Amino acid sequence: MTTASAGELLYEGKAKKLYATEDGDRLLVRYKDEATAYNGEKHAMIPGKSRLNHEISSLLFSVLEAKGVSTHFIERLSDKEQLVRKVTIIPLEVVVRNVTAGSFAKRFGQEEGIVLPFSVVDFHVKDDALGDPLATDDQLLVLQYAGKGELETLKQRALEVNDILKEYFADKGITLIDFKLEFGYTEAGELIVADEISPDTCRLWDQKTNEKLDKDVFRRDLGSLPETYEKLYKRLTEGK
């Protein structure tokens, strides 16, 4: 277990704070008890959320690492802090969808819960002021958010993560409906999965009942977020 302490605050987002450490290649992520939805329109302090997202994210990054996918995760440091590799983030949200839900269902007038014939990857530009707009490959290329080969690599890597996580959750009786990834480059130029993978960034439904085990309970006022995340965490760790 490494000891690392939080140095200079480098960045504060909606769900996490990022600090420098004594090691220039490593950063400390401290998860926050804040929940936001609809681009910050809905906002609440939720005690316990930081611990649960930190633990679930640590677990899912470890699942990916064990299957050979490089991520920024190094180790847990406390009940809400983790040590990660420093990367330069690509300013794109890479979304993978297995089943219709959320903005995809809304945009195309689809019911939620229809299994897609193949997994779809879509890119959103990370820009709160613009509401993280969906962008086509050509739009991303012309605006130089990424190169052609880079987009292909991101898609392929995201689908690889999808295969691993879909199987992992299915084993626990949970359907991975959709999720968002962020990627970054290390100083050495390695492309790795970064940010977080948690019920804030995934849609997860119970296979039998379709009960929502993710942030939609907060977005749509369907129940208690900490109770839902705790239930998910227990299912992942204790099979309960």
Binding site for ligand TMP (CB under 6 A): 93, 95, 101-104, 124, 132, 178-180, 201-203
Residue number of the CB closest to ligand TMP reads 102
C-alpha neighbours within 13 Å on the C-beta side of residue 68: 3
CB of 102 to ligand TMP, least distance (A): 2
Select 21 or 162, whichever has its Cβ closest to ligand TMP: 162
- In the chain, helix, strand, coil percent, each to 5? 30, 30, 35
CB of 200 to ligand TMP, least distance (A): 6
Select 62 or 103, whichever has its Cβ closest to ligand TMP: 103
Select 21 or 201, whichever has its Cβ closest to ligand TMP: 201
CB of 105 to ligand TMP, least distance (A): 8
Q: How far apart are CA 63 and CA 26, in angstroms?
A: 21
CB of 93 to ligand TMP, least distance (A): 6
CB of 201 to ligand TMP, least distance (A): 3
Per the structure block, which two tokens stand in for 18?
């990022």
Select 96 or 192, whichever has its Cβ closest to ligand TMP: 96
Q: What is the 3-state secondary structure (H, E, C) of 101-152?
A: CHHHHHHCCCCCCCEEEEEEEEEEECCHHHCCCEECHHHHHHCCCCCHHHHH
For residue 99, is it left (φ>0), alpha (ψ between -120 and 50) or beta? beta
Select 86 or 203, whichever has its Cβ closest to ligand TMP: 203
